[in-house]
Each structure stands twice: as structure tokens, then as C-alpha cells.
Structure 1
Amino acid sequence: MLKRLFVSRSGHERLLVPALAAFIVTLAVGFAIGSYASLHASSEEERASSLTASGKFAAAEAIYVQLLHERPNMAIVLAFLDNHARAITDRIRRRLQSQSFDDPMQKSEGAILDEEAIDAMLAHDLPPDVSLLGRFWRGVEKDAVSRAVRDQVLAGAKREPPLPWHNHLLGREAEQSGALLDAAGYYEREGMTFPERASDVDGALNLWMNVDAWDHVRGRLQDARVWAAAGNLTKYRFAVHERDWKAAVWELTLSWKKRWHGAGLWMSAVSALAWAFMCARLGKLGERPKFRIPLYVVAFGLGVASVIPTMFLIAVEESRLKLIETGDVVRDMLFYVFGVGLREEASKALLFLPLVPILRRWGDKLDVLVAGAMVGLGFAAEENIDYVAQGALHSGLARFLTANFLHMAMTGIFATALYEFLSDRERYAAHFLRVSLFVVGLHGAYDFFLSHEELGGSYFAMTVFLFLTKPFLDAVDAARRRADKGISVLQAFVLAIAVVTGVTFVYATHAVGPQQAALMMTQGLVGVAILLFFFVRSLRAM
């Protein structure tokens, strides 16, 4: 019976049937576990936040309006106004790109409130304290804060103790105008007064770091209250500047540990298992299980650990080299290639190196390729947790669907070239250089387009697989040669795709509902389609 699932009566391998079966089972198990474990859908506020982060501003605004009628508070007002401002900016950008005032996206996504309706709601439909702060921030956005409103907000910020949100909003206003030191002062006062907004202390400390006020940061962190309120990544950044490597490792470890929980963890775990199954078939695990099982497990663990040197390089790039995303297209392209792509590929290569002596003694070409792929999968698994935590489903789901294979293929190719270079430097030096530039360039292009929706975003990012898939499959063909018995590599690949797609849909449905989930997965599925096309065509030709 199970054999018929994978092989037709005529002896041909099946792809669609096992893929649909795996997808349906994944959905059934995912929703059943959610129901059994009493996992509820995201709250309306979480759902609206996810929609905003994913560019679905009209849908988010409808939820925020309802929330403001049910339980008005400043956090919702601020999220509502920020969402509305982003919607206006997004639609202006679309109209400029289309050179038309007829915005088809607005018709399909729904309308947002007009400006008069928002002003009326802030003035008349909210409690007085919330209304004051809402009108202040609305005035900041329109560059038209009335003198009376500003005086009241300033008075509330100066009180002892200050009123909530007053210093935070003044800090945001100062930061927008470029008065970073003033902004930091406001943020610190807000964060130190209200523990639930301790993130404002991080905002203050990072602003001081950004303007190289390291002596001031050093002094503030000597205050036990500031130290307790500061986050681990802020302390890590400071420790790197101070070259206190022991403290840097400790703070990074604490920060890293906090990510290993919740939906991101189980999604990443299931996805990693699906792709590990594909790697096991690719690496002919059954032929040498005593050697290959420990090798692949250790390689995966090293891939997860490669996030640590990556975080270290991020801190060095930001604090020492000032290599950050700026919004300028040309500079950002350079940042993503020579910043993001280079540091991540270098970190994975660094953690692959401990496997080289083992592979030289007991391994072969296939072991090198698959061990490299498993290092890439470990890195992707850890990174996937962060994608989910960010809440930007629009690009996050595209990453989740495709980044596993991206890292597996790139690291597998790069690890093979590195292994050959270390074996014969003179012979393989030029090849290693070409592969390094190829992998780092593709990596940078993938991240660049995913971070710039205005340039085509995720759709252009998926074209990376047009260039990546064939070299990886060529490496597979050169290393693997003859097929073994059992499920084929192509079938294992299709099963992995089906499981990951099912897990992604289950999570997205809990976050924003099934309709929005399907829409947000569209871009990632384009990448999946490209991968399937090349795999089916290439592997069947091998």
C-alpha cells in the first residue's frame, strides 16, 4: 500500500500523490495539535500587528478601529496611527510607480479612513488622556502640533513621576527630527519610570552608541537600574565595543536562549526535520549509518552554532565599520552583499572547518556536500525562529518557505569548494574564489530584494533560485552518481516542500486567518515553484 503511494502500477515514481498526502496530513496534524493543546488564534491586536508588518494596512486599520472602540489605550492608538501613516506612504509610492491615481491595490485591499474621520475620532471618541496623546502624535505626523497640546504633553513629561507615554512620544518626535541626544534622554526617562516599556532604555542606549557617546553609555550602565532594564543585545553591543569578549559571549547566549520557544521553535523544528529527511536521502544515509548519522547531526549543530560568530560580526560591522542598512538602494545592495551575505557565509564556513579532518579520513565527495548542506540547514533553522518572531509574515513566510534550501544549497556548494581548496590550494584557488563570489553575491541579492518591496521584493528574490539550483544539482550529480533503493531524492525533496508548506499555512492561519495566510504565502510559493521545476527537470535527466 505504501509502495503504491510512491510508485505507479507502471513502475513510474509518483510526485503529486505523495506530496498532496504529506500536505494534507501536515495540515490535519497541525490543526489537531493546535486544538488539543488549546492553541488559540492570535489576539486581534497581534493579528493587526502582523498585517501591518506584512503590508496589509487596510485590513490592519479595520481591526485597530474596532479595538479603539472596545478598549482604547495609547498602545493601540499609536499602532493605529503608525499603520495609517505607512498606508499613506505605501499608496503614494504605488501611485508614483504606476503614474496613476487609480490604485488597484486599494480596491482589492479595502479603503482606509480619510483624514477628517481620524481627526474626529481622536478628538471625540477616546478618553481625555488618550485623546491628548493621540492628537499630539497626529500633529507630529502632520507637522502641525498645536501649542496647547504640546504644552500639556511637556508638562506631563516633566512631572514627578512623569505621566505614561509622554516622554516616549517626545522621544520619537526628537528622533524623527534628528535630535538624537534629546530623544535618548526622553526614552531613558520613560523606560526607567515604566518597567513595561523598558525597551525605551535600549532605545536610549543605542542612540547614544550610534553617535559614539560611549563614555556616556559606560556611565549610564554603571547605574544598577539602567543595567537591569537594558536588554541582552544592547549589553552585547557595548561589550563588543569594550572588547570584553567574555561578557559579549554571555549576553549573546542569554539573548539567543530567549528565542528558543513558542511558534517559531516548533515551526523551525518540523521544517528542519523535513529537510533533514531530504538530506538523508541525498546522502545515502542507509549505506553508512554509523558514520553518516553522527556526521549529519554534528554538522546540523555546528550550523546552529554558526549564528554566534554571525552575531559577533554584526556587532563589529555596526559599531566599528558603521555598515548598516540606510535606505539608499546602492548602499543597501553593497550592505547586503558585503555585510549580510559575506558574514553569514563566512560564519557557516568557519563552523564547517572542524569537519574537514573527519571528512578527509573517512568521507567522500557526497559526505562533504551533504555535511555542508546540513551546516546550512542548521543555520537556517535558527534563523527561521527569528523570521517568525519578527511578525512580518509577508516576507517572513517567503523566507521560511525558501531559506532552508537556499542555505543548504549555498553552504553545500561553498563547503565543497572550500574542501577542495584546502586539499590542493594551487589547483583549486581560482575555483574557490569564483564560488565564493557567486555564493556571497546570490545571498546578498536574496536578502536585498526581500528587504526592498518597492523594487519587486520577494518576487525578484525568488529569481535567485534560477541561478542557484542548477549548480547545486550538478554538485549532487557529481558526488552521488548511482541511485540507491527506496524513496528517490526527488520524492524526498517534494515531501519536504509539502510538509514545510503545510506547517507554514497552519502557522499563518493562526496568525491572520486562512484567506490572508494564502495571500501572504504567494511570493514564497513562487520560489517553491521555481525549485520544483528545476528539481523535476534536472533530477529526472540525471
Structure 2
Amino acid sequence: MQLQPYLRSHTRQPQFLGRMVLAILVVGLVLAYLVQAPAAVDNVIVLRESPEGYEQHHDQMRQFIAEREWWQLWWAIPRSMWLDIVPGPALLAALTGACWFAFAVQAGQPYRTGGIRWPLAAVAVVLGVLSIWPTLFAIYWQEYEWNLVLGNDVRQGLKFFILGVGLREELSKLLLFLPLVPWIIRRGSEREALLVAACVGLGFAMEENIGKFSQGQDTSARFLTANFFHMAATGLCGLALCRAIWNPRQRLGEAIAIVLLVIFVHGMYDALLVLPDLRLYSMGAFILFVLLSYQFFHELRTWWEAPGETISLTATFLASVAIVIAATLVYLSSLVGLQLAAKSVIAPAVSLGAMVYMFLREMPESIIDV
């Protein structure tokens, strides 16, 4: 049996893909059972004691904020990011990030004309990690200068998530995407614009997830969807920006509208998941995630060139989703036990399932027709 023809044939068969996904999930479930915590008192994640110098450094940062020493605060943030790193969440973020990076590069068909250049995509991931830097600065600045804090009031909560979270995160990611824009503009590849920008979003999501887990927050409900949500959001914004540069007369207004819409969608997505008064409408977050995924895959389909690679993009995508779910289940089980870990994973896994449907429906290697 020749391996290449076998893979080209089988990785496009629904039965083979189904067995592959099931096998990955079963392995994850078995590992989760083997490493589960003996007993979980509650759903609070405690990862480690604060490293040496952690409290002193954050006290110094609070002093900079109180005295409006913004320049000193700016240069203090990288050390804060370093002190927040915990090995467990970092390894989980690296594994899931590697899965999505592999998908992004393959989707860009690097060996075809106009395909993505994978070194540029790798740099984009690094820049995405660094985009947390201006984001953290904006958090402190908005809180002090705009009094933008999360409150119990719905109006204040929406203001916090849209003008705060959505605005600062999307603009920070675009800011770190800008150094790569000249390389993309000269080549004129919309496919590369979409996927390199998506890799910036991926880097941001990886670092953000490490920080949230390291602070002991129960972020499992959003961890599974965060990577692709940021990839899709930044990818669409980055593509809109490049289109505006290529054709400013016809595309500038469209680019501004898309960026503003993504900021609004980002803010509403988080608000619907977090604000207690909006929990009844949390299904809206699911709908927003699905629509964002649909638009990303719709753009990606435009430039797909057949025939595809030996291993189908569908196989890479489904394996990535399954590995992300399995790895998250294993890690959470080691902290809070298998039962709580499974409960935490179910809801976001459903969202990922809808995203999978959109992919299978939209991409040329589709195995779903309706």
C-alpha cells in the first residue's frame, strides 16, 4: 500500500474522518480519567503560588497607575506578562496553537501562487502574542481615565465589553498586524492577508488564555472557542484593511464598517457570556460565533485551489478541533476532576460543533451539501 494515495483517498472519506475524530476524543477521555484530580471541592482553579517578586511588581504597577505615570507602566507590562506564565496553561496554549497554526498554513496553500508564506505566518503569531502588551496598557488606561469598569448594570456592562474589551483587543491586534502589511500589500494576495492576520489573532488568543488561567479564572467555557474566534475576527479585519489599501476609493468605507462591526460582535459575544442579566440570551453568543466562522470560511473558500494536498484540509481541521477538545478536557480533569471538566467542556464543544458544520458546508472539500 502506498501511503500518499492512501492518505489522499481516505482523508476525504466521511467514515475515516469520523473514526479519526472519535479515536482522538476517546484517547483524550481515557487520559482525562487517568490524570483526574482525586476530589474537586469547587470549580476554582488554583495553579501555583505567586512567583517571587509578583506582588511587589504589581504593587509598583498600581502606583504607576495612581500617579498617571503611563510611560513607566508601559515598560512594566512585559515583566507582568512573564510573571503570569504558568507551565500547564502555557503547554496547553502551545499545543492548541500549534493545531490551529497547522490548519492556517495548510488553508493558505503555501506552495501555490499567491499562497501564504509560512514564515510570515509564524512571525504573525509572535506579533499576536505581543499584542497583549498594548491591550493590557489599554485596560489600565481605560479603567483610570474613562472609569471603564465591569459593573452589575447591563448598560455599564455593555459599555465595558464593547468600548473596552472589543475595542482595545481588536485595535491592538490590528496594530501588531501593521508591520506585516507592507509585505502583504506588495504581493497582493488576499488569501495571505486573511490568514496572516488570523495568525495574529491566534497569537493573541494563546497569550490571553495563559494569562486568564494563570489568574485562576474559570475560562474553560471560552477557552475552546477563543482561538478560532480571535483568528476569524482578526483575519476579517486584516483582510478589510488590506483591501482598503489596495482600493481606498471603493473599500475604505467598507473596511471601517467591518472593523467596527467586529468590535461590536466581539463585545457582545463576551457580554452575553458574562453579564448575569444577559444569561437568558447566551444563545446569542453562539449565533455570533457561528456567523463569524461562516464569514471567515466563506472568504477562505474564494481562493481555494483544487486539487488539495495529500492530507485533506478537512482532516487537518477536524483533527485540530478534536485535539483542542481532548487536550482541554485532560488539563481541566487534572485540576478539578473529570466530572467537572466534562461539564465545562460540553457547552463550548457544541459551539465548535456548529463551527465544524460551517466549515464542512463552505469549503470545497465539503462533505455536507446543505
TM value normalised by structure 1: 0.60
Which residue of the partner structure matches residue 76 of structure 2? 251
TM-superposed deviation, 1:461: 2.3
Cα distance in structure 1, aligned partners of 2:133 and 2:36: 33
Cα distance in structure 1, aligned partners of 2:319 and 2:140: 38
The 1:425–1:15 alpha-carbon spacing in structure 2 relative to 1, beyond 3 Å, is same
The 1:9–1:431 alpha-carbon spacing in structure 2 relative to 1, beyond 3 Å, is closer
Q: Does the alignment pair 1:487 with 2:311?
A: yes
The 1:444–1:518 alpha-carbon spacing in structure 2 relative to 1, beyond 3 Å, is same
Alignment of 1:58-457 (within 5 A): 230-240=55-65, 242-287=67-112, 292-362=117-187, 364-393=189-218, 396-453=219-276, 455-456=279-280
The 1:288–1:304 alpha-carbon spacing in structure 2 relative to 1, beyond 3 Å, is farther
Which residue of the partner structure matches residue 478 of structure 1? 302
Give the letter for the 2:41 counterpart. Answer: A
SS at match of 1:463: helix
The 1:6–1:521 alpha-carbon spacing in structure 2 relative to 1, beyond 3 Å, is farther
TM-superposed deviation, 1:523: 1.4
Cα distance in structure 2, aligned partners of 1:383 and 1:293: 23
Which structure carries more relative contact order (alpha carbon 8 Å, separation 6+)?
Answer: 2
Give the letter for the 1:15 counterpart. Answer: L
Give the letter for the 2:263 counterpart. Answer: V
**CA offsets 1:451-476 (integer angstroms, 9 cap, x no match):** 12552375442222232122111211
Give the letter for the 1:48 counterpart. Answer: V
The 1:468–1:285 alpha-carbon spacing in structure 2 relative to 1, beyond 3 Å, is same
TM-superposed deviation, 1:530: 1.3
Which residue of the partner structure matches residue 48 of structure 1? 41
Cα distance in structure 1, aligned partners of 2:96 and 2:50: 34
**CA offsets 1:149-206 (integer angstroms, 9 cap, x no match):** xxxxxxxxxxxxxxxxxxxxxxxxxxxxxxxxxxxxxxxxxxxxxxx999xxxxxxxx
Cα distance in structure 2, aligned partners of 1:337 and 1:291: 32
Q: Does the alignment pair 1:533 with 2:346?
A: no
Cα distance in structure 1, aligned partners of 2:285 and 2:12: 39
**CA offsets 1:50-98 (integer angstroms, 9 cap, x no match):** x258xxxxxxxxxxxxxxxxxxxxxxxxxxxxxxxxxxxxxxxxxxxxx
The 1:388–1:5 alpha-carbon spacing in structure 2 relative to 1, beyond 3 Å, is farther
Q: Which moved more, 1:409-418 or 1:241-250?
A: 241-250
Moved over 6 A (4+): 9-13, 288-291
TM-superposed deviation, 1:323: 0.8
Cα distance in structure 2, aligned partners of 1:301 and 1:338: 26
Cα distance in structure 1, aligned partners of 2:113 and 2:57: 43
Cα distance in structure 1, aligned partners of 2:346 and 2:8: 27
Decide which structure has the larger Cα Rg and report it: 1
Give the letter for the 2:102 counterpart. Answer: F
TM-superposed deviation, 1:377: 0.2
Contact 2:197/2:235 (8 A) holds in 1: yes
Give the letter for the 1:21 counterpart. Answer: A
Cα distance in structure 2, aligned partners of 1:308 and 1:537: 37
Contact 2:333/2:341 (8 A) holds in 1: yes
Cα distance in structure 2, aligned partners of 1:520 and 1:197: 25
Contact 2:106/2:313 (8 A) holds in 1: yes
Give the letter for the 2:260 counterpart. Answer: L
Which residue of the partner structure matches residue 20 of structure 1? 22
Which residue of the partner structure matches residue 518 of structure 1? 342
Contact 1:409/1:472 (8 A) holds in 2: yes
Contact 2:290/2:354 (8 A) holds in 1: yes
RMSD: 3.2
Q: Which moved more, 1:277-286 or 1:349-358?
A: 277-286
Contact 1:5/1:18 (8 A) holds in 2: no
Give the letter for the 1:20 counterpart. Answer: L
Seq. identity, %: 31
Contact 2:36/2:338 (8 A) holds in 1: no
Cα distance in structure 1, aligned partners of 2:145 and 2:20: 51
Q: Does the alignment pair 1:469 with 2:293?
A: yes
Give the letter for the 1:537 counterpart. Answer: R
Give the letter for the 2:126 counterpart. Answer: G
**CA offsets 1:288-308 (integer angstroms, 9 cap, x no match):** 899712101100000000000
Cα distance in structure 2, aligned partners of 1:9 and 1:507: 28
Give the number of aligned pairs. 360
**CA offsets 1:100-137 (integer angstroms, 9 cap, x no match):** xxxxxxxxxxxxxxxxxxxxxxxxxxxxxxxxxxxxxx
Which residue of the partner structure matches residue 321 of structure 2? 497
Contact 1:299/1:375 (8 A) holds in 2: yes
Cα distance in structure 1, aligned partners of 2:239 and 2:275: 32
Cα distance in structure 1, aligned partners of 2:339 and 2:86: 27
TM-superposed deviation, 1:329: 1.0
Contact 1:237/1:315 (8 A) holds in 2: no
The 1:255–1:48 alpha-carbon spacing in structure 2 relative to 1, beyond 3 Å, is farther
Which residue of the partner structure matches residue 203 of structure 1? none
Give the letter for the 1:401 counterpart. Answer: L
Cα distance in structure 1, aligned partners of 2:230 and 2:187: 25
Give the letter for the 2:25 counterpart. Answer: F
TM-superposed deviation, 1:341: 0.2
TM-superposed deviation, 1:11: 6.2
Cα distance in structure 1, aligned partners of 2:350 and 2:116: 37
The 1:515–1:12 alpha-carbon spacing in structure 2 relative to 1, beyond 3 Å, is closer
TM-superposed deviation, 1:432: 0.9
Give the letter for the 1:265 counterpart. Answer: A
Cα distance in structure 2, aligned partners of 1:290 and 1:530: 27
